[in-house]
């Protein structure tokens, strides 16, 4: 089975019937303002009745069924291979969209061919005046590869007062609601299936920038995200994937002359693990330890992927990386930090990655 459309909005579902029941009807209703749109649900081998509900209740949503759970990365790669489109939109099942949310994203991409991917502003479903942790108004990384956002730095989340309503260039767009040019997504190799889940969208956006394109936030479009739908926020497995995948991402994409930064990052991770140990959070300590073991096992594959991707690297677009440590900055002011407090000059200058 294959589909052809201009814009494909694809939800990857795994035992998320409660989210589909709550959010899919609204998505189908509020996506009608954009032309030539396919809404599809790719099911990762659910056992909670999701497929039966979709067939009975939302037959207008295209259904792509898998025999088992291929993870976020494998599931999306398999689903998107069945769809011919100009734009892909990867949308989490726990996202509530707003009326005509898709139109600003499509219009922006139509008008800016230099942009490979973009994202709406992502607000909290539970606290609707605040940004949401996983993406907020666009993501960045610091010198050591730690991700943060406009509107969310580590655990400090800001209210949305319109302070980030401009279409800013960003480093990464959240996988909770990410629009990408389908041809560039495919040329870049799609999502790295060795990641399984977490950090895969940052890795993809990094590769797209190395190919010479930009990533943008388009906050004229807003969505509300529940968060923690597949793995709870406090899950040791989530922590493991975040630490391991972040290191893999850096090794794959960072300039070879800068890879001493990875050693510094390993030391910082070790300090975080010791902090977990001192606080008696033994499952988190083990998660970081396992993540480092997983990273070292993945080193040969990361180096191979790096070599394979080398032919696609473009002219070396400058990337908006914070040239400092967001962790040190955060703890220096005891967590009370906003994106607007950061020195904008530290995002500019020669390319460091």
pLDDT at position 315, please?
Answer: 61
CB atoms within 10 A of CB 312: 15
165 Cβ contact list (under 8 Å, min separation 6): 121, 219, 220
The first and second tokens of residue 48, run together, are 């909670």
Average pLDDT score over residue span 193-216: 95
- 271-289 pLDDT, tens digit per residue, is 999 999 999 999 999 999 9
349 or 59, which is more confident: 59
- 90-147 pLDDT, tens digit per residue, is 999 999 999 999 999 999 999 999 999 999 999 999 999 999 999 999 999 999 999 9
pLDDT at position 330, please?
Answer: 83
Max mean pLDDT among 24-38, 128-142, 221-235, 304-318 falls in 128-142
Average pLDDT score over residue span 63-70: 95
Spatial contact of 88 and 54, defined as CB atoms under 8 Å apart: no
pLDDT at position 275, please?
Answer: 93
- 1-22 pLDDT, tens digit per residue, is 677 899 999 999 999 999 999 9
How many percent of the chain have pLDDT more than 90? Answer: 81
Average pLDDT score over residue span 331-338: 77
Report the alpha-carbon distance of residue 221 to residue 34 in Å, rounded: 13
Q: What is the DSSP letter of 223?
A: E
Token pair 């906050």: residue: 219
What stretch of H or E contains 125? none
Report the alpha-carbon distance of residue 258 to residue 264 in Å, rounded: 11
Report the alpha-carbon distance of residue 16 to residue 24 in Å, rounded: 11
pLDDT at position 260, please?
Answer: 87
Report the predicted TM-score, pTM, of the whole model to 2 decimal places: 0.94
> In order of start, what are the domains of the chain with their CATH numbers?
7-225 (3.90.550.10), 236-325 (no CATH)
Q: Is the pLDDT of residue 316 over 80?
A: no
pLDDT at position 3, please?
Answer: 74
């Amino acid at each position: 089975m294959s589909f052809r459309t201009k814009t494909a909005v694809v939800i990857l579902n795994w035992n998320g019937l409660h989210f589909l029941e709550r959010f899919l009807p609204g998505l189908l209703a509020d996506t009608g303002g954009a032309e030539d749109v396919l809404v599809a649900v790719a099911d990762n081998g659910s056992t909670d009745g999701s497929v039966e509900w979709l067939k009975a209740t939302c037959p207008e949503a295209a259904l792509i069924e898998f025999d088992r759970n291929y993870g976020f990365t494998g599931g999306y790669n398999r689903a998107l291979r069945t769809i011919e489109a100009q734009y892909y939109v990867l949308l989490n099942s726990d996202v509530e969209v707003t009326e005509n949310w898709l139109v600003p994203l499509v219009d922006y991409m139509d008008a800016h061919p230099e942009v490979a991917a973009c994202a709406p502003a992502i607000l909290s479903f539970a606290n609707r005046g605040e940004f949401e942790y996983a993406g907020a108004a666009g993501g960045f990384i610091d010198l050591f590869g730690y991700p943060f956002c406009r509107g969310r730095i580590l655990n400090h989340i800001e209210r949305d007062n319109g302070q980030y309503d401009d279409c800013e260039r960003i480093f990464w767009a959240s996988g909770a609601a990410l629009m990408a040019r389908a041809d560039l997504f495919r040329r870049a190799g799609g999502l790295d299936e060795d990641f399984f889940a977490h950090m895969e969208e940052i890795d993809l956006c990094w590769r797209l920038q190395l190919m010479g394109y930009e990533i943008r936030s388009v906050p004229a479009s807003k969505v509300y995200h529940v968060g923690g739908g597949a793995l709870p926020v406090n899950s040791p497995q989530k922590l493991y994937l975040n630490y391991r995948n972040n290191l893999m991402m850096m090794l794959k994409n960072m300039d070879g002359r800068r890879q001493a930064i990875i050693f510094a990052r390993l030391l910082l991770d070790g300090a975080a693990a010791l902090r977990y140990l001192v606080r008696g959070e033994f499952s988190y300590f083990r998660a970081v330890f396992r993540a480092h073991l997983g990273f070292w096992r993945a080193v040969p594959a990361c180096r191979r992927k790096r070599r394979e991707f080398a032919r696609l690297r473009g002219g070396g677009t400058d990337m908006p990386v914070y040239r400092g440590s967001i962790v040190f900055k955060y703890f220096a002011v005891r967590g009370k930090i906003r994106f607007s407090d950061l020195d904008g000059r530290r995002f500019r200058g020669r390319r460091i990655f």
